Structure 1
């Protein structure tokens, strides 16, 4: 069992470190390589896919050089890159460190695959540990902390991984007979390794995504197509982690009963693809159950005798065809990780290129389901539960901490009578990433807090995209600002706009705006502030998406029509990234509707790009009943836009 424990533990640690690197590398494609959308989406996709294609050459290197030296060198490179990223250097240094770590991680996986014919326990434990830690950390990766605790955790994880890699592991039994049996039975773990990449994609997007689970809970609390601040929003996470580990380590039923996992995974993927916020929680839970069960179907399915040849250190066996089997495993994991890249690029590039993407998670789930269901059923069961009961229980207990230790967004309450003034801030936060490519919620919240806001309107709010690291930027910002929120979905159910307020909000409504050829969806979110004593103010948050080569005139008209109807004579604030400048036709739609440019006294007030602002595209409009003063666009590079802020005086009662 020492072999099994070391194999599982080292593989799981490596998977955790690789996912950490991916959570830095993936958003770096957009924010650093993409340079704020100035790089064509096709070029960004080619850059992303290129490294996974390059890794297809790793099995040939392993076969020529040997698995052991490849694994040791690649593990060291992965560990060093992961540790260096803890410094969060930003810019191209960060991008190339993450790229080096990614390539090293892919080569390491290929080397490990060459010497490990039973990867499911380590893969499952790695996915589960990463999800549990991500939830406990409130979806903000330790890489971005910049504290001594981040260095301590990273150093311990890297050290344990390197020690596990360096530790020689004796053959676990079976000898040449075991090797022959694996080769004859169909490849000794080939199917399991093939599913590593697709399973990683589905785990990060749906099954084991803490941010998606919390976003789903926030829809259940609000309803009507909008999302609100949930209590114990991370509660589904320990359930998903426990279900995943249980099904991944449980003997699959015989006969057609084996189909429950593939069916659950497909249903979960379909619910996710349906893009309905109220279906996200069942999507997470079903996908977790199904993904674990599919991995279990491939666990040693190709090796009925259940023997294992080597551990993750890459000690090779070279008898009677096992070299060929090891090569097949290496190619299988390389191809599987290429599927991960194709799925991620295919899904998220749709928001730049404008094609339907709902089929991507369903197709990947279908691939996993087919590979798993057609695997040879296990004959007999291996002695000892895997993952070990104690390890699975510990990971589940860790996940249980998440809803307990996570800070909850406070509930707003009426103060002693309505205020005389409100300070309004509008900010395009670029999914939480600054101009240097670092995930910088601290910088975002600090520049907002300096304005002492009563109401904050946010654009480009990402709540679970794996492409951006799987963070829930809205909930974390709301906790730090101490302000409840309402979220309106735009591009999909986890990307859109939000309103945060120190005052109670009700009557939330979201209106999808006409696409008019723009690939990224847009919406208008209306909420009503209850300022007590019958004083109510309507607030509309939006982010206009202009069609190629044109202004967002159609969307601007739709927003003004919605806002005027929604306000129904009450004082009104409309704000956001409007992608139009004073004097443009789209800008004129707001003034023609009787709204006042609240920033007029400070014009010109450029807000983009943040380091050298030249464009006036972020705006605040108010109805004639409100009197604006003190307009400002405070400097900050925590996003690619500057925030705009204004104080509005309420009409006398």
Structure 2
């Protein structure tokens, strides 16, 4: 019987990695939205708080090396499982933040003790990462913690029981690590691989966005089943790379180069598709190379390597996403992280056989790679003409990446609030389509599926963060243009979509102004107005979104001078921020050749902004 089938450490590692990844999808956005209050807390303090939870496990390593590491691992697994299950019911505020943080600490304790005990990290960890990606795809990127369905609890309970059962079985069997199976390189790779997999290599959301950009230059709705099949192909390639035989130095060098290339080109919308296909297999080969990395090491060295790799995960995640608050270049971060697996590929030995995976098990895994993601397939809605007698119904909403003021992700509640206004067009700001920091969700696809609408997306900060337009009206021209940063850390853009309504073409411009520090955003205002005028080409046109300016500002006068009137002027006060107790209006609809009626402000607190709705005539 093969090693893979008899050693309980493999399923134990896979189950633990699956739970740890799921927990991180709650913990990471909790740091931003609860501890950080969405940039109101200094980024340095936020980063220090986050890093602390990754540094404490260094103290676990000598304890696990001195005592029974298997029992320490069981204790960590029990804490991870308990907190992961509790997060199904603990939503929002400090309780969510600290339950997730304690669960993270327990999970890192389990990982460190597992490394000290020794075992096949180069087999179990890839299986866990693959399972996490497939599950996320099947759930349409909405983690089980945020599912309001009865079946979420039994699934998480089963995953927790699998982890605990496998750990207990390992303790009873007392298997020793096979020679060469417990390399420090394999354990160190866990953190970098988790980051690269979550950012692009195994991200279901990236698969959807990549297909969208491939089929439409401004990422229209992805064709049904194609993103799921692409994700299945990526996971299958990753597992094949992690278990296949290393055939020589040329293959290892090629895999390292491809991984570095993927880390570079994923930052560009046109490169997402290629980055996903290149990165998945190359990352899997790094695990195969890590298994070939010489003789076993001291137990403590493996434990320190595992924790150090997770510190790389934490530092790199903070470094990449904090750039959008602090304003420094961050394109180097994924490339720097990819250097670690690339180096493992270059320095490892070759000719190591694949782990003993039975043929039937391999075929079953391949089938699961393609079948499980298909559970998340959505159908593209049909085009409808709308009702011209009532006027064009518009909703504008800054969704804050889908998170409410309490740090909870409730896309179903947001969708119901939007649907209550029965909109023909929805304009969204702060749309996150794959950021690992926010849980790897595809906000746009999730909301579009819940609303039964088609979507178009304009990237602003990077390829997967920006603004969107949703509609089922006939769509003609679509165009997006970047806006000048002028000192603002987060990028901005203007997305134009021409819709056909009541026998006439109407130009929709979705944008989110990012003002420079302590100054009016007059440069961006001029660029938006010029784009809207050119794109509108004499059609009735409106500009909508979070403009981060208030009535009476010089920027509003500049819009008026360019021919775009304040659509809400006759309906004030129309306060939209903050969502719980709005005191100012920074979300606007500016019109040319149109008028606003029936203006209303939503009461749902699923963002830090309130939703606004109006009828355009």
Aligned residue in 2 for 1:203: 197
How much has 1:373 moved relative to structure 2?
A: 1.9
| Structure 1 residues 254 and 457: CA distance shift in structure 2, 3 A | same
Aligned residue in 2 for 1:139: 141
Q: Does 1:461 align with 2:424?
A: no
How much has 1:401 moved relative to structure 2?
A: 2.8
Aligned residue in 1 for 2:288: 296
Using the TM superposition, name which of 79-88 and 457-466 deviates more.
79-88
Structure 1's unaligned 5+ residue stretches are 304-321
Q: Does 1:148 align with 2:150?
A: yes
Distance (Å, rounded) in 2 between the aligned partners of 1:383 and 1:405: 29
| Structure 1 residues 434 and 569: CA distance shift in structure 2, 3 A | same
Which protein shows a greater Rg?
A: 1
- Aligned ranges for residues 465-480 of structure 1 at < 5 Å? 465-480=435-450
| Structure 1 residues 416 and 511: CA distance shift in structure 2, 3 A | closer
| Counterpart selection for 1:642 from 607, 610, 617 | 610
Distance (Å, rounded) in 1 between the aligned partners of 2:129 and 2:283: 11
Aligned residue in 2 for 1:364: 337
Distance (Å, rounded) in 1 between the aligned partners of 2:355 and 2:349: 19
Aligned residue in 1 for 2:323: 350
Distance (Å, rounded) in 2 between the aligned partners of 1:415 and 1:581: 34
| Structure 1 residues 191 and 424: CA distance shift in structure 2, 3 A | same
| Structure 1 residues 119 and 229: CA distance shift in structure 2, 3 A | same
Q: TM-score, normalised by structure 2?
A: 0.95
How much has 1:416 moved relative to structure 2?
A: 8.0
| Counterpart selection for 1:269 from 243, 263, 287 | 263
Aligned residue in 2 for 1:511: 481
Distance (Å, rounded) in 2 between the aligned partners of 1:170 and 1:326: 19
Secondary structure, aligned partner of 2:460: strand
Aligned residue in 1 for 2:232: 238
Q: Does 1:340 align with 2:313?
A: yes
Aligned residue in 2 for 1:529: 499
- Aligned ranges for residues 1-400 of structure 1 at < 5 Å? 1=2, 4-167=6-169, 168-170=171-173, 172=175, 188-223=182-217, 226-231=218-223, 232=225, 233-272=227-266, 275-303=267-295, 325-378=298-351, 381=353, 384-385=356-357, 388-400=358-370
How much has 1:505 moved relative to structure 2?
A: 1.6
2:507, 2:536 within 8 Å by CA — same for their partners in 1? yes
1:133, 1:398 within 8 Å by CA — same for their partners in 2? no
Aligned residue in 2 for 1:445: 415
Secondary structure, aligned partner of 1:234: helix
Distance (Å, rounded) in 2 between the aligned partners of 1:416 and 1:591: 29
Secondary structure, aligned partner of 2:259: helix
1:133, 1:399 within 8 Å by CA — same for their partners in 2? no
Secondary structure, aligned partner of 1:594: coil
How much has 1:243 moved relative to structure 2?
A: 0.6
1:511, 1:525 within 8 Å by CA — same for their partners in 2? yes
2:7, 2:175 within 8 Å by CA — same for their partners in 1? no
2:247, 2:350 within 8 Å by CA — same for their partners in 1? no
| Counterpart selection for 1:630 from 595, 598, 602 | 598
Distance (Å, rounded) in 1 between the aligned partners of 2:546 and 2:591: 15
Distance (Å, rounded) in 2 between the aligned partners of 1:125 and 1:564: 53
| Counterpart selection for 2:571 from 591, 602, 605 | 602
Alignment length (residue pairs): 612
Distance (Å, rounded) in 2 between the aligned partners of 1:255 and 1:372: 9
Deviations along 1:537-577, one digit per CA (max 9) or x if unpaired, are 00000000011122322211211121122111111111100
How much has 1:587 moved relative to structure 2?
A: 1.8
How much has 1:170 moved relative to structure 2?
A: 3.2
How much has 1:301 moved relative to structure 2?
A: 2.9
Distance (Å, rounded) in 1 between the aligned partners of 2:129 and 2:281: 13
How much has 1:146 moved relative to structure 2?
A: 2.8
Distance (Å, rounded) in 2 between the aligned partners of 1:222 and 1:508: 10
Distance (Å, rounded) in 1 between the aligned partners of 2:162 and 2:54: 26
1:117, 1:190 within 8 Å by CA — same for their partners in 2? no
Aligned residue in 1 for 2:545: 576
1:573, 1:620 within 8 Å by CA — same for their partners in 2? yes
Q: Does 1:559 align with 2:528?
A: yes
How much has 1:435 moved relative to structure 2?
A: 1.2
Aligned residue in 2 for 1:316: none
1:132, 1:395 within 8 Å by CA — same for their partners in 2? no
2:135, 2:373 within 8 Å by CA — same for their partners in 1? no
Q: Does 1:487 align with 2:487?
A: no
How much has 1:412 moved relative to structure 2?
A: 4.2
| Structure 1 residues 153 and 414: CA distance shift in structure 2, 3 A | closer
Secondary structure, aligned partner of 2:151: helix
How much has 1:390 moved relative to structure 2?
A: 4.4
RMSD (CA atoms): 1.9
How much has 1:5 moved relative to structure 2?
A: 4.2
Secondary structure, aligned partner of 1:526: strand
Secondary structure, aligned partner of 2:214: helix
1:524, 1:542 within 8 Å by CA — same for their partners in 2? yes
Aligned residue in 2 for 1:311: none
Structure 2's unaligned 5+ residue stretches are none
